[in-house]
Structure 1
Amino acid sequence: MDEELHERVREVVAAIPPGSVSTYGDVAAAAGANTPRLVGRILSEDGHDLPWHRVLRANGTPAPHLVHRQLELLRAEGVLADGQRIDLKRYRWRQP
């Protein structure tokens, strides 16, 4: 994997402010990655020090294996879910 791209993905995720969320696709586009799956891979392997919980699937839901922890962390930042879905129109971060 391209180390520069890896760092760009990390930078984009680090920039997502508390109380906001982004999607894997949004992060991929902002970082210049050609697939959202790469973002998920980077976060799973090297995202422990990042606000990984602010990155969701395109439909506003967390990854199934992270759902409870992710929603708990988002709730602590004021991001409220309807069931297990976050309202992207309300909470989505638009990178400047």
Structure 2
Amino acid sequence: MQAFTEKVIQIIQQIPPGKIMTYGQVAAAAGSPRAARQVTRILHSMSAQYNLPWHRIVNVRGQIVLKDEEARYFQKTSLQNEGVEVDLNDQIDLTQFQLQIQEKNHSELY
């Protein structure tokens, strides 16, 4: 497994319930700020294998953007069950729910 993939998995596993990160934020924390699409690929292909809380990852605007209605419903209800407020447009307030990480040490998220 590539080092970037390993870092992405570790970062996502550390996101606590009730907090979210963006695809780009995860990519940056893993050392490749322009690799948000790679984060999407990793989530798509490895979430089940590594039991990743993929529902805690949203786009840069704080929106749930999954096209599959069932997956979108699962993500929204999972976040709401963790106390994350999701509005009728599947929008989340990043200032309130986004996990803020330390810029100097990405391995410690909280």
TM-score interval, smaller chain: over 0.9
Distance 1:11 1:79 in 2: 22
Deviation at 1:19, TM superposition (A): 0.4
Higher Rg: 2
Distance 2:74 2:16 in 1: 18
Structure 2: state its 5+ residue gaps.
Answer: 103-110
Deviation at 1:63, TM superposition (A): 2.5
Deviation at 1:47, TM superposition (A): 1.3
Does 2:76 correspond to 1:68? no
- Calculate the aligned-residue CA RMSD, in Å: 1.2
Instruction: Write 1 or 2 for the structure with the bigger share of strand.
Output: 1
Measured against aligned partners, the alpha-carbon deviations of 1:50-71 in whole angstroms (never above 9, x if no partner) come to 1110000111111222321100
Structure 1: state its 5+ residue gaps.
Answer: none
Distance 2:73 2:94 in 1: 18
Higher mean C-alpha displacement, 76-85 vs 63-72: 63-72
- Runs of 4+ in structure 1 deviating by more than 3 angstroms, as ranges, are none
